[in-house]
Structure 1
Amino acid sequence: MNNLDITAASLMAEWESIQRQLEPLFRARDFKSTNQWMEKGINLFLQFLYLTNDETFIPHNQITLNQFPFKPVNLEERLGFIKSRPGLYHSYRQLSELMIEQEKQFVKGNIVKKSSRT
């Protein structure tokens, strides 16, 4: 495993931890408490997105996400929805799907990088 793989595995493990915090909060309809955990999840997703695309993540950076070659479909619209309504269960589900899709993009990016080296 290289450093990127280790970092990606660490981010995914942290996401699982955040999910374990969020699910009971959504079941209890404790929407105020979910915002803090959703912000952590959003930040984590952005870190993963930048890592996948060999960029350095800087919080609150105004970089356009469309420039990344390895990203989920309709990323800006979906992320905009999540950020504007972090307390909704649908936002949580959308963020979960983005993490799954980004994990696939990470694997795809690794394959492309390896094939370009040979």
Structure 2
Amino acid sequence: MRKNWSTRFFKSPHVATYELDEDSIFVSGLPFWQEQLFYTRGRGEMPWHTDPARACQRMAKQWKNIAQELDASFKLRETPDMAIIRDGIGIYLSMLFWSNRRPVQLDNLEEHMKTLEVIPMNLEERLMFVMGRPDGYPAFKQLNELVKEQRKLVLKTTYLKEGSLPTIM
């Protein structure tokens, strides 16, 4: 993957964290805000630790909203808003890391991804494709497939570990 694309693509927001609802799983325009609270203040919900399967499920629901917005833009032959694309990629990266019981780590992302166990086939190549032209329709379709596959992997891992599927489907 391109060197440090992740930290260039996702700039650290300057956010008054006291204004955030810590029970929210997703805040548009603020991907990885849970990690920001964790790394800067040592507190927050920490969904990768408390209940990663449920957190990934909640993020997948958020992805559906993002995917609908992106799909609508493509149907109108418009270039989608980069903020929405960034939200979508942020949702996927959150699901990827949280399903491995870890917070998202953007510094040296490629190296961190190599240490993850619950991953789709050919993750690095596919994510590089998405990041190569994130505002293109093929990248959107690839990202959509990555989200679906990660969700299936989370369900499979949960089932194999606990012998049952998560209670909230």
TM-score, length-scaled by structure 1: 0.85
Counterpart position of 2:114? 66
CA RMSD of aligned residues (A): 1.7
**2:53 and 2:155 in contact (8 A); partners too:** no
Q: 1:17 & 1:78 partners in 2: Cα distance?
A: 22
Counterpart position of 1:37? 84
Aligned structure 1 segments of 4 or more residues deviating by more than 6 angstroms: none
State the shift of 1:113 in Å.
2.9
**1:13-92 aligned within 5 A:** 13-31=61-79, 33-58=80-105, 60-63=106-109, 64=111, 65-92=113-140
Which protein has the bigger helix share? 1
State the shift of 1:61 in Å.
2.6
In structure 2, the residue corresponding to 1:57 is in which secondary structure? coil
State the shift of 1:53 in Å.
0.5
Between 1:106-115 and 1:8-17, the stretch displaced more is 106-115
Pairs aligned (count): 112
**Is 1:113 matched with 2:161?**
yes
TM-score, length-scaled by structure 2: 0.61
State the shift of 1:3 in Å.
2.8
**1:34 and 1:86 in contact (8 A); partners too:** no
Structure 1's unaligned 5+ residue stretches are: none
Specify the structure having the higher radius of gyration (Cα): 2
